[in-house]
Structure 1
Amino acid sequence: MGSYNSSLIFCCQIEKLSDKQCQPESQLKFITEAWLQIVECRRVLKWTYAYGYYLPEHEHAKKQFFEYLQGEAESGLERLHQCAEKELHPFINADGPSREFNDFRTKLAGLTSVTKNYFENLVRALENGLSDVDSNGAASRKATSSKNAARSSKGRGGRGKGTLRSSMSSRMSDDNHWFCEQCTYANVESATACQICNYQRQ
């Protein structure tokens, strides 16, 4: 019954949004997709805590790598949830169509895609038994770099982000785009801040 009521409320909100922003409901699927992604990610995240609890204490490198991936996925999910819930409300309660609605559409669709990628990376790593971390010297080096990354990124509210994400961003960069170190979104070269999370380009 609760699920039915929630669905009914959501449908009413979509109808209201469609009316206020003069957009057909078929053009608002990006909102439904965002919420479906949030629900799925919450379900996955719940089980990752159990996985982390049973990780052997002596496997420090795997634990560091797991916490990094989990932290990335969790922070991405929180940004998506914030956008899909709080940032959507002004458009539902607006007096009429808003010029900012298309920007909101781009941001929410981008966050949905980024969050999906984070969780796919997390699930893939767990399915592989965190095999990206080997049991020899490379494991201890990765654990150390992850720990240093975690320390350096605490000031920005992240967990274990700096070093690993920076190397990933530099690998993915090309002549026409730069990839955000915060959410990995591909921004046009001329942008000075990320179009998704507003992270300032370094």
Structure 2
Amino acid sequence: MEKLCNVQCTTMSQLKCITEAWLQIVECRRVLKWTYAYGYYLPEHEKTKTQFFEYLQGEAEVGLERLHRCAEKELDKYVTADGPLSDFDDFRTKLTGLTSVTKTYFENLVRALENGLEDVNSTACNKILSPRSPASPRSPTGRNGKGRGSRGKESPRAGGSPKNVDDTSK
């Protein structure tokens, strides 16, 4: 943090967003760890609930990885620079936004799990999970050995998910 302050000619208070991002990453990893246990104990006969859970979990993983990449890899560019970079304020804004969106997504995920995924019976949820819908999760044949909890890179996208926050890094 001191090196970043010196290189970017900024104060520690202006770098608070970096500390907040890392604290959020740690908290989200802790939550995500427990989602695997939750998914393991979902009843086999509740396939729609299982699909909904896997979708939510996959989106959480994608959003968290985006925040982690920004806080680690993208930050490195500013730490190793020879002098202040003009887009550092844009980076701080992006990091703050990703932190906020990730926090909100995980809060909603925890709330959904605490409520037993009760939203799974709503019309909107059934529409999202429909096999014909482009936002539907992977088929059961693409799952890991236990049949839940781990997802591949082809995570589906839906409006309002962390994936839609910032795709400018591509």
Distance 1:105 1:90 in 2: 13
Letter in 1 for 2:98: L
- How much has 1:143 moved relative to structure 2? 3.7
Task: Choose the corresponding residue for 1:144, options 126, 130, 133.
Answer: 130
Deviations 1:17-53 (A, max 9, x none): 0011010101100000000000000000000001001
Letter in 2 for 1:115: T
Percent of pairs with identical residues: 62
The structure with higher relative contact order (CA 8 Å, sep 6+) is 2
Tell me the residue number matched to 1:189.
none
Gaps of 5+ in 1: 1-13, 170-180, 186-195
Task: Choose the corresponding residue for 1:48, options 29, 35, 43.
Answer: 35
Contact 2:129 2:135 in 1 (8 A): no
User: Structure 1 runs of 4+ off > 6 angstroms?
Assistant: 136-139
Task: Choose the corresponding residue for 1:82, options 46, 69, 83.
Answer: 69
Task: Choose the corresponding residue for 2:53, options 57, 66, 75.
Answer: 66
Contact 2:8 2:83 in 1 (8 A): yes
Task: Choose the corresponding residue for 1:183, options 143, 152, 163.
Answer: 163
Letter in 2 for 1:23: T
Letter in 1 for 2:107: E
Deviations 1:117-168 (A, max 9, x none): 211111010000000112x99876554258752369xxxx54232xxx24xx
Is structure 2 residue 79 aligned with structure 1 residue 92? yes
Tell me the residue number matched to 1:106.
93
* Greater CA drift, 142-151 or 59-68: 142-151
TM-score (norm 1): 0.69
For this pair of structures, how many residues does the alignment match?
156
Q: Secondary structure at the match of 1:61?
A: helix
Quickly say closer, same or farther: Cα 1:63–1:17, change in 2 above 3 A.
same
- How much has 1:198 moved relative to structure 2? 2.2
Q: Give the root-mean-square deviation of aligned CA atoms.
A: 2.7
Contact 2:62 2:163 in 1 (8 A): no
Contact 2:28 2:64 in 1 (8 A): yes
Distance 1:27 1:141 in 2: 44
Q: Secondary structure at the match of 1:71?
A: helix
Task: Choose the corresponding residue for 1:37, options 7, 19, 24.
Answer: 24
Gaps of 5+ in 2: 139-152
Letter in 2 for 1:40: E
Deviations 1:44-65 (A, max 9, x none): 0000001001101110111111
Contact 2:136 2:156 in 1 (8 A): yes
Q: Secondary structure at the match of 1:85?
A: helix
Contact 2:62 2:162 in 1 (8 A): no
Contact 1:52 1:63 in 2 (8 A): yes
Contact 1:55 1:63 in 2 (8 A): yes
Tell me the residue number matched to 1:119.
106
